[in-house]
Structures are given as C-alpha cells and as structure tokens.
Chain A
Amino acid sequence: MSMTAPPAPAPISNDPGRAWRIARPLAGIAVFGSLALLFGGVDVGVFALRVVLLVGLVVLAAALLQGKTRKFFSGPAAYMATFSLFVLVVLAIFATEISPQNPYDLRQLSIMDGRLPPGSTTFDGSMTFHLGTDEQGRDILSGILYGLRISLSVSIIATLIAMLIGVVVGIYAAWAGGRIEAVLMRIVDFQLSFPSILVALMLMAAFGRGLDKIVIALIIVQWAYYARTVRGTALSETRKEYIDAARGLGLPSWRIIFRHLLPNCVPPLIVISTVQVANTIVLESSLSFLGVGVPITQPSLGLLIANGYGYMLSGQYWMSMYPGLALLAIVASINLVGDRLRDTLNPRLTR
C-alpha cells in the first residue's frame, strides 16, 4: 500500500532553517495523510500509519519551536506539560495496541466482571483490571485509552475545520470590507454573545447523539472565534503600506493573501487553536456528561465519567475518578503548553 513518505530525519545541512523548511511540509503531509487513512477505515498497515502520524506530529512540534526552545522550556511546568502531553498523545494513538481489552467489543465483556474495584482480576483470573471495571464489566483503563482517543480526535478535527472556516471568513471579511465585512462581523458578534455551551447544547438537542453530529456542533460554536481573530490580524496588516503598494502593482489578490496576510495570522492561530482544543475537549465531555454528546457505544472521557457518576456516592469512585483524572491531565497539559506557546510565539493576544 502506498502512502506518503515518512518524514525521515532532515538531511544534514549547514543551514538548519532549510532542513526545517523541507521537514515541515513533509510532516504535515504525513500527519494529514495518516489521519485521513486511519479515519477512512483502512485495515492494512494500521500500526505503521500510527507510527507515521506520531513522528509527523513530533516533527511539526519541533519545527514550531525551532530556535525558541529555550524560551519555551522556561520552567518545570513546561517540561512536565510537554512530557505528559506527549505520553497522552502516544496513548491515544496506540490505544488499540496498549489496551488490555477492546471496550467496544461486547464479546470481550462479561457482566460478571461488573463494578470491580481497581486491582481485581477477571472471573477466570486471565486479566487484571488495574483501574477497576464499570457496570458492564468494561476495563476502566481500556475505556480511558479509547475515550482519550475519541475525545482528542473529536476536538482536534472540530477545531481544525472551525479554524479553516474562520480563516476563510475572517480573511474574506477583512479583504472585502464594506457591507460584506459589516454583515459577517455582526453574525460573528451575535454568535459570540452566547455561551458556547448553550449553543452546543441546543444544536445537540436538535441533531441527536453521534460522533459526526458533535463534531459539527463543535465547529459551529467555535468558527466565530477564529473569524474574529483572523479578521483583526488581517485588518491591521491590510492597513500597512506595502499591501497598498502590492495592490497598486497589480499583484493578484490570492498572492497577497497567501504570501502576506495568512502568514501573519499563523502565530495567533496556533495559540488560539491549542487552547481551543482544550476548551473543546471540556465542552465535548460536558455535553456527553449531560447525555447529548457522543453515542453510548463509543464513550469519550466525559461519558465514562457520567456513567460512573451514579456509583460515586456509594463509594465506587474509580469509575468516574480515573477518567476524570485522564481528562484533567490532557486538558491541563494542552493548556499549559498553550500558555507557553503564547509566551513563546508572542502574538498580540489578550487572555
């Protein structure tokens, strides 16, 4: 099966900037290609694809930080967050390989193993449930690993698509100006004046449960953030004289947009999207907790917590506690990394 070339270590050259310029697009292609294939449901070379995905992500992250690592790693929190984010991403990507059990496969579950405390073994002693089981006899650890994957992929996909829409709308508004801009920004303001949880809740109520539906809902609630940010950055850029000069020279609009406007929007976008992925994970888990999120058959971390909630008061804490800790770990790592990124890339952002 042919696939994109893995981003081999960049050729040794005297100019590290050049090596990164080659490595970055390769890594990008590797990430998108492997993601597309994985979600497309291929069943050949899945493990290799996951390795490609992980390597691609690491190269992208390294490319982002090249030359700024010292500023980024300015304290113990930055190291810890980066390390824990890396571990959690690896766990999510290789959940299938690592998990002791496939929690989606009902044949592997036995109701006899239901609600066992951490450290128990199966009825026949063939497997140990390190973090206990839920009411259906699902291994909590496996549930967490699979749930982590669901939570991460739902929010990353939603964030990326929302970002794409936001960039298009924001650039278009800034470029077009006039009435188009006014109308678009009114819509953005209108949407942003309502708390995202409320909008998402109503959308999910209308759509019903489902992975695709929650992704759509999460896109709808966040595209406006990006549109506003991109428009702001693009606007301050279009006011600069060289853009007028470029327009005066008759350079095609797409060239000005792609060469000048877009690159300036990238640092704030990276920072916002990092934080947004974390927010989106929380939002998704809240919706799932409320019973309008992911389907019961594919529980995210939020749904796992909700499932265990009923048993919490009777002292069977593990069903909710451990998924909650996993959720906290992933969200906190992303937020801490995002916080460091904000300081490192230093786009003119508040909050």
Chain B
Amino acid sequence: MLVFLLRRLAQSVFVLIAMMIVVFFGVYMIGNPIDILISPDATPAEIAETMTRFGFDEPAYMQFLKFVGNALQGDLGRSFVHGESAVTLILSYMPATLELAALGLFFSVAIGVPLGVYAGYKADRWQGRAIMTGSIFGFSLPNFWVGMLLILIFAVELRWLPSTGRGETVEVLGMRLSIFSENGLKYMILPALTLALYKASLVTRLARAGTQEALMQDYVKFARAKGVSETRILLVHVLKNIMIPIITVLGLELGSMIAFAVVTETVFAWPGMGKLLIDSILTLDRPVIVAYLMMTVIIFIFINFTVDVIYTLLDPRVRVKGEAS
C-alpha cells in the first residue's frame, strides 16, 4: 500500500513539473501584458520602467526560473488587474466553484443513477430505449444554451428562481459558501443543474451498462431464488456493484466539471474561479491565468488520489488485496 502511495506521489510531482513548464511558456505567449498595464500614451521610458519592474525585460528562461523559485514558496505572482497575490485571489474565488461543482456532481448522480438503473432494468423495453435516446440529447445540449434556457424558463417566465449571480453566503471553515443558506442555494440550483446535465447523461449510460451486466450475473438470479424483491435486488445488489465504477468515473470527472464551470459561471455570472479565468484571459492577466492552471492541476492530482482511496474503501476485493501486500 505504501509503495503504491509513494509511486502515485512521484507521478504527481512529475505531472506538476511538466505542467509548470507547459503553463509558463504557454501563457508567456498570450498577448503583451504591457498594453493593459499602462495607458497607451505612456512614454517609452515609462514602458521600459514598467517592463523592468515586472521583469518582462529578462529572457524567457530567466523569468521561468524566477517563476519556479517563487512557485515553490507558494507565490505565483501578483495580479496585474487586482493588484493582489494571484494565489490569494484564486483561493478567494475557489469555494464558489467547488460548491457549484459539488452540487452539480450530486445532481448528476441523483438524476443519472436512478434513470440508468431503470433503463438497464427495462433495457429491451421502450422505457429503456427512451431513456437512452434522452441521454444522447443530454450529451448534445450545449452547456451554455441549457443555462440560458433554464434562466428563460425558471427565472424570466416562471420567476421561481433568481437568474444570475450568487446569493447569500455563510462563512464555513473560513470559506464563504452559499450552499448552507436557503437564499444562496436558490441561486445555485440553476447553474448546478446546467453543469450536471452532461455528467448526468454520462452517469445514466454507465449505470445502465452496469445494471445490465449485473442483472445477468448469477448472484442476482440467486437473490431472486431467495425470494428477495426486485426493488431490493436493484437497490442493494445491483446498485452496490455499479457504484464502484460510477464513483471512479465521477471522481475523475470532477476535474472536468471544475473546468466546464468556466462556461456555466460565465452564463450565470457566478463569481467563481472559472469566471475569474475568463476575465483574466480577456484582460491578459497572466499571473492569474498561471495560478488558475497550477491550482487546477493540484486539484486534479488531489482528486485522482482521493478517488483511488475511495475505490479501495468501496471494493472489498481491492481492500483485501491491499491488506495482503
């Protein structure tokens, strides 16, 4: 087990270093930040002074070495626009995105698993086929358009939920979260649903395939021979077996959920780090872009790690192998 963890850790460090190189030189190509840092009618002397102050006059590799040195101390630069430390800035926007992704993940499981299990149970009937066709539509609906449609229906026409922005927040463990306040939750429902739709379709398909496979197994037939009800067979025997692959995939998808939040946050004017990223790209705020990418990589690595641990906890077969080694 320990060997396994250490190997995973080494891999993660490698990915992190590779990412640093890619991100730095990638972002280095984005525009000329000088243009937005000072007014267009600045004198050449002023430009040169600013270049020196931000270190833009040095060759790329020197800037990179400095960047790595600072990064190791947790400093990813200062936002050109906000004047704050980029890491602090990202961290202050992060809770909004994380809670959105978490609620989205919850929605995708809550929608996808029952639909998928039912579709697998009725695989050859019209119900199963209808759900599968529906899931293709779920795959096909462009995220941002769904968001707009939801706003149009639930906010503009029905006036049930607020359209954009973030509601009340409550301070929990030093993070400002809106998931714990009723008003805040109202603001979250539409964006989280939007974010969840694609994953819900994915979960539906996974759950259906898993259910179909599980239903063919002897243990399901044996459970039937015991007189166990169909409901219990689906909810206990089948569900427990299919949750392992679903949780693995979902865990891995949490990362892409955070990434896709970029679009959803833009539609709903949700003040998360995705929105911050888009704004930073449009204003060429390099340090924030770099910080966003580095933080995302760290989150991804953390997620992959956690998924492995959860996987081990869920599957007794894996767990025992781990204990034995």
Are A and B direct contacts in the complex by CB distance below 8 Å?
A: yes
Mark A residues whose CB is within 8 Å of B.
Answer: 75, 77, 190, 193-195, 197-198, 201-203, 205-206, 208, 278, 282, 285-286, 289-292, 302, 305-306, 309, 312-313, 315, 317, 320-321, 324, 327-328, 331-332, 334-336, 339, 351
Query: Are A201 and B262 CB-contacts (below 8 A) given A335-B140, A351-B205?
Result: yes
Total interface residues on B, using CB and 8 Å?
43
**A190 close to B142 (CB less than 8 A):** no
Could you name 10 residue pairs across A and B whose Cβ atoms are closer than 8 Å? Answer: A190-B18, A198-B293, A206-B27, A208-B31, A278-B139, A313-B163, A321-B152, A327-B142, A331-B142, A332-B140
Please measure, in the bound complex, the distance between the C-alpha atom of A206 and the C-alpha atom of B260, giving whole angstroms: 19
**B15 close to A190 (CB less than 8 A):** yes
Contacts of B262 in A (CB 8 A): 197-198, 201, 290
**B140 close to A317 (CB less than 8 A):** no
Contacts of B263 in A (CB 8 A): 197, 286, 289-290
Please measure, in the bound complex, the distance between the C-alpha atom of A320 and the C-alpha atom of B31, giving whole angstroms: 31
Contacts of A317 in B (CB 8 A): 152
Shortest Cβ-Cβ A-B pairs, 7 listed: A195-B259, A195-B256, A332-B140, A331-B140, A324-B145, A198-B259, A205-B281
Contacts of A334 in B (CB 8 A): 140
Nearest residue, chain A, Cβ from B280: A205
Task: Tell me if B239 counts as interface (CB < 8 A to partner A).
Answer: no
B15-35 contact mask (Cβ, 8 Å, vs A): 1 or 0: 100100000001101110000
Shortest beta-carbon distance from B199 to chain A in Å? 12
Contacts of A290 in B (CB 8 A): 262-263, 266, 278
B245-279 contact mask (Cβ, 8 Å, vs A): 1 or 0: 00000000001100110110011000000000110
Please measure, in the bound complex, the distance between the C-alpha atom of A286 and the C-alpha atom of B256, giving whole angstroms: 14
**A336 close to B133 (CB less than 8 A):** yes
**B136 close to A195 (CB less than 8 A):** no
Contacts of B15 in A (CB 8 A): 190, 193
Contact of B142 among A198, A203, A282 (CB under 8 A): A282
Task: Tell me if B173 counts as interface (CB < 8 A to partner A).
Answer: no
Nearest residue, chain B, Cβ from A78: B133
**B282 close to A291 (CB less than 8 A):** yes
Task: Tell me if B106 counts as interface (CB < 8 A to partner A).
Answer: no
**B148 close to A320 (CB less than 8 A):** yes
* Residues of B221-255 whose CB lies within 8 A of A: 255
B128-157 contact mask (Cβ, 8 Å, vs A): 1 or 0: 010011001101111111001101100110
Contacts of A75 in B (CB 8 A): 129
Shortest beta-carbon distance from B72 to chain A in Å? 21
**A339 close to B260 (CB less than 8 A):** no
**A205 close to B144 (CB less than 8 A):** no
**A312 close to B281 (CB less than 8 A):** no
Q: Given A317-B152, A335-B140, 5 more contacts at CB 8 Å?
A: A197-B262, A202-B27, A320-B148, A324-B142, A339-B132
Task: Tell me if B80 counts as interface (CB < 8 A to partner A).
Answer: no
Contacts of B205 in A (CB 8 A): 351
Contacts of B145 in A (CB 8 A): 305, 320, 324, 327-328
**B141 close to A328 (CB less than 8 A):** yes
Please measure, in the bound complex, the distance between the C-alpha atom of A336 and the C-alpha atom of B296, giving whole angstroms: 33
Task: Tell me if B100 counts as interface (CB < 8 A to partner A).
Answer: no
Contacts of A332 in B (CB 8 A): 136-137, 140-141
Contacts of B132 in A (CB 8 A): 339
**A336 close to B30 (CB less than 8 A):** no
Please measure, in the bound complex, the distance between the C-alpha atom of A203 and the C-alpha atom of B27, giving whole angstroms: 9
Query: Are A195 and B255 CB-contacts (below 8 A) given A202-B293, A331-B140?
Result: yes
Nearest residue, chain B, Cβ from A285: B142
Contacts of A285 in B (CB 8 A): 142, 144
Contact of B144 among A194, A305, A313 (CB under 8 A): A305
Please measure, in the bound complex, the distance between the C-alpha atom of A335 and the C-alpha atom of B140, giving whole angstroms: 7
Shortest beta-carbon distance from B248 to chain A in Å? 13
Shortest beta-carbon distance from B132 to chain A in Å? 8
**B142 close to A201 (CB less than 8 A):** no
Contacts of A193 in B (CB 8 A): 15, 300
Contacts of B149 in A (CB 8 A): 321, 324
**B148 close to A202 (CB less than 8 A):** no
Please measure, in the bound complex, the distance between the C-alpha atom of A203 and the C-alpha atom of B295, giving whole angstroms: 18
Task: Tell me if B289 counts as interface (CB < 8 A to partner A).
Answer: yes
Contacts of B289 in A (CB 8 A): 202, 205
Shortest beta-carbon distance from A18 to chain B in Å? 36
Nearest residue, chain B, Cβ from A338: B136
Contacts of B281 in A (CB 8 A): 201, 205, 292
Please measure, in the bound complex, the distance between the C-alpha atom of A302 and the C-alpha atom of B144, giving whole angstroms: 9
**B136 close to A335 (CB less than 8 A):** yes
* Residues of B103-134 whose CB lies within 8 A of A: 129, 132-133
Please measure, in the bound complex, the distance between the C-alpha atom of A222 and the C-alpha atom of B185, giving whole angstroms: 36
Contacts of B151 in A (CB 8 A): 312-313
Shortest beta-carbon distance from B218 to chain A in Å? 23
**B26 close to A286 (CB less than 8 A):** no
**A77 close to B133 (CB less than 8 A):** yes
Shortest beta-carbon distance from B89 to chain A in Å? 18
